[in-house]
Amino acid sequence: MYGTSKAEITRSKEKIISLKREHNYFIIAHNYVDTDVQDIADYVGDSLQMALKAADSDAEKVLVASIKIMGESAKLLNPDKKVLMVHPYADCRLANLNNVEELRELKRKHPAAEVVCYVNSAAELRAESTITCTSANCVKIVQAIPEDKQIIFIPDSNIGKWVEYQTGRKLIMLDSNCYVHHQISFVEANQTKAQFPDFSLLVHPECRLEVCKLADEVLSTSQMINYVNEHDKVILGTETGLYDQLRKRYPQKLLVPLSSRMVCEDMKLISLDMVAKALAEEQYEINLDGETGKKSLSSLQRMWEILG
Ligand code: CIZ
Ligand code: SF4
């Protein structure tokens, strides 16, 4: 937290811990939020890991220190718990680039297609899909679909292009991507790689295809964490919250962010002050309408069936 003293941050954290106990909340935080917020969480991880951990916990109330689409995932897997968001408007810009009507139009044009949707999408969009995928399993999911089946892949066309490259399959896509990852050009990535020749370059598949091809590994955030557990010299090509988390955990390792501009503005709206406010006021509760919840859950279950 910029412009806030260490003592103030400590006080804020203590206040949150006491509010959390008083109101009996299980707090989940995403890898991309500010590390001070990660510090007060009961669990830090990627969107699906967070939702599953909350489901495993005994707590009846869950506070999601992340953006709206991840709150929806948490509610989806915790239908009987009260699920609160920290911020009323923080959401994923990628997830909101496409509306449900655009997808329905695509489905009308390709009625026999399987619709694969990235987990980080609005619940309404996922409800229109037949299989959910994550950044870690997108290639595997597409490979499991019979060759003769058309595939609509939404919403991130960079992940889609990476999947096409890996599988040799042609995907039907919309032109949308994540501004945080898409802004990194091949030239910039190549310069950083040249500057640190004996480092491994890890990038998220939301990066451009030419950047993915340049990288040593194309990984989800949880896969990047596992990689850094085992390696000492790494360039991290994803949102800087993950770099901050790993730098704090491994001060002795040589870690470099691919770019300090890889900042998701909505993730950074999740501040300690907002966490304290949400707990004190017990808002903003997130609810999923029954039909949307049912359909997006069945899309997620198809993913688990395919993965076995
Ligand atoms: O799924 C997530 O939480 C995100 C944003 C990316 C990833 O690869 O973990
Ligand atoms: Fe969405 Fe990109 Fe932010 Fe992730 S980093 S939450 S995909 S805008």
Same domain, 50 and 33: yes
Any domain includes 290: no
Tell me, using a 6 A CB cutoff, whether residue 91 lines ligand 2.
Answer: no
pLDDT value for 265: 98
* Å from CA of 125 to ligand 1 middle: 17
Same domain, 195 and 272: no
Same domain, 107 and 79: no
Query: pLDDT tens across 282-295, in order?
Result: 999 999 999 999 99
Is the confidence at residue 95, as pLDDT, over 90? no
Closest approach atom of ligand 1 to CA 205: 8
pLDDT value for 3: 66
The whole-angstrom separation of Cα 51 and Cα 88 is: 19
60, two tokens: 């009846």
Query: pLDDT tens across 168-206, in order?
Result: 999 999 999 999 999 999 999 999 999 999 999 999 999
The whole-number average pLDDT for the span 6-33 is 97
Q: What's this model's pTM, rounded to 2 decimal places? A: 0.96
Tell me, using a 6 A CB cutoff, whether residue 135 lines ligand 1.
Answer: yes
* Å from CA of 185 to ligand 2 middle: 17
Same domain, 164 and 110: yes
pLDDT value for 180: 98
The whole-angstrom separation of Cα 54 and Cα 78 is: 7
Closest approach atom of ligand 1 to CA 135: 8
Number of domains into which the chain is organized: 3
Is the confidence at residue 305, as pLDDT, over 60? yes
Any domain includes 57: yes
Any domain includes 242: yes
Any domain includes 298: no
Tell me, using a 6 A CB cutoff, whether residue 117 lines ligand 2.
Answer: no
Same domain, 67 and 129: no
Is the confidence at residue 97, as pLDDT, over 90? no
Any domain includes 308: no
Is the confidence at residue 1, as pLDDT, over 60? no
Any domain includes 304: no
- Ligand closest to Cα of 31 equals 1
The whole-angstrom separation of Cα 114 and Cα 205 is: 21
Please give the residue range of the domain that contains residue 64: 6-91+267-281
Confidence of residue 91 (pLDDT cuts 50, 70, 90): very high
pLDDT value for 4: 80
Same domain, 112 and 168: yes
CB neighbour class for 298 (10 Å; exposed up to 12, middle 13-18, buried from 19): middle
Same domain, 188 and 173: no
The whole-angstrom separation of Cα 16 and Cα 280 is: 9
* Å from CA of 244 to ligand 2 middle: 16
Same domain, 172 and 198: no
The whole-angstrom separation of Cα 124 and Cα 98 is: 11
CB neighbour class for 22 (10 Å; exposed up to 12, middle 13-18, buried from 19): exposed
Which residue, of 178, 207, 223, is where some domain finishes?
178
Any domain includes 62: yes
57, two tokens: 């916990």
Closest approach atom of ligand 2 to CA 92: 1
Contacts with 140 (C-beta within 8 Å, 6 or more apart), sequence order: 306, 307
pLDDT value for 96: 82
Tell me, using a 6 A CB cutoff, whether residue 222 lines ligand 1.
Answer: yes
Tell me, using a 6 A CB cutoff, whether residue 159 lines ligand 2.
Answer: no
Is the confidence at residue 272, as pLDDT, over 60? yes
pLDDT value for 2: 56
Any domain includes 286: no
Query: pLDDT tens across 102-119, in order?
Result: 999 999 999 999 999 999
The whole-number average pLDDT for the span 142-168 is 98
* End-to-end Cα spacing for the chain: 42
| Nearest CA among 31, 28, 27, 29 for reference residue 221 | 31
pLDDT value for 7: 95
The whole-angstrom separation of Cα 206 and Cα 160 is: 9
Is the confidence at residue 262, as pLDDT, over 60? yes
Query: pLDDT tens across 23-55, in order?
Result: 999 999 999 999 999 999 999 999 999 999 999
For residue 220, give the CATH number of its domain.
3.40.50.10800
* 230 neighbors 224 (Cβ within 8 angstroms): no
